[in-house]
Amino acid sequence: MGKNSPLLIAQLSDLHLFATPNRDLLGLNTFSSLEAVLQKLKRLPVLPDQLLLTGDLAQDETDTAYQQIQALIAPLQIPTYWLPGNHDHLPTMQATFTNPIFQAHKSYRMGGWHFLLLDSSIIGKVYGELSVERLSWLNQELKQCYPHPTLIALHHPPFAIKSDWLDQIGLQNSDDLFAILDRHPHVKLVVFGHIHQQFEHQRHNVHYLSTPSTCIQFAPHSKTFALDQAQPGFRLFHLHADGTFETEIQRVMFAQTLDFSAKGY
């Protein structure tokens, strides 16, 4: 990042890696699709200043799966920040992500922006919720980082996305989150994963954005579980010091034989 250049952030989400690299998820090899995504990242005109991984990194919660993620990403030498999703096991993540490239910080500053990473996962549940303690931490951190433009990341979407089955497993206490964000006008972006598709919404001058999964995609506006034919992808953010930003979705061409008859995963 040059002195006057925007901060370039790549958000990757819902990797769903297994301990065994040759395992498929509903007809797609998640290891190979992540490799394809990282190859596309490497071919960008400018490498990102930061990778942001927004949960569901492992499908089977094994240390081997997390080790593989670390082994694939670490050679890029890009600072990598992460948070857990409902498929993850936080203690295993903490014990495995030991390479210095993988940062454990959940509140940090880069390029004039402040970043706050929230754990919305609940043990044994697919839906998400922010505890009283996490909400209190968020409010305190937002007070301290004022007036720096701020990006907040979590796994579960705080909005209904007009997809009945996904809307039942989103963030359950979004109003508690909004009550805090409404008090802090320097919050510019809230980003999340979980829904395996592109989504954009604006509320009170805050932009809420999801990213495609690096593996399978879910069909938009579906009442029940359904896969989409869209390719794996990720989201790029160009963050300017004045709090403005541009964003785009990047996808990879990846051969897949999806099981469109699947009722879940």
Mean pLDDT score of the chain, rounded to an integer?
A: 96
**Position 92 confidence tier, pLDDT thresholds 50, 70, 90:** very high
Q: Where are the domains of the chain?
A: 7-251
Task: Decide if pLDDT at 98 tops 90.
Answer: yes
pTM for the model: 0.96
pLDDT > 90: percent of the chain: 94
pLDDT for 254 equals 85
**Position 14 confidence tier, pLDDT thresholds 50, 70, 90:** very high
**Position 3 confidence tier, pLDDT thresholds 50, 70, 90:** low
Contact 50, 110 (CB under 8 A): yes
Segment 199-227 mean pLDDT: 97
Task: Decide if pLDDT at 2 tops 60.
Answer: no
pLDDT for 264 equals 84
d(CA 20, CA 56): 16
Multiple choice CATH, 7-251, 3.40.190.10, 3.60.21.10, 3.60.20.10, 3.30.420.40 = 3.60.21.10
Segment 74-84 mean pLDDT: 98
d(CA 1, CA 203): 30
Task: Decide if pLDDT at 233 tops 70.
Answer: yes
80-89, 183-192, 235-244, 255-264: lowest mean pLDDT where?
255-264
Task: Decide if pLDDT at 136 tops 80.
Answer: yes
Per the DSSP assignment, residues forming a β-bridge with 113 are 110
**Position 1 confidence tier, pLDDT thresholds 50, 70, 90:** low
pLDDT tens-digit map of 137-151: 999 999 999 999 999
- The three-state secondary structure class of 131 is coil
4: left (phi over 0), alpha (psi -120 to 50) or beta: alpha
Structure tokens at 68: 């593989």
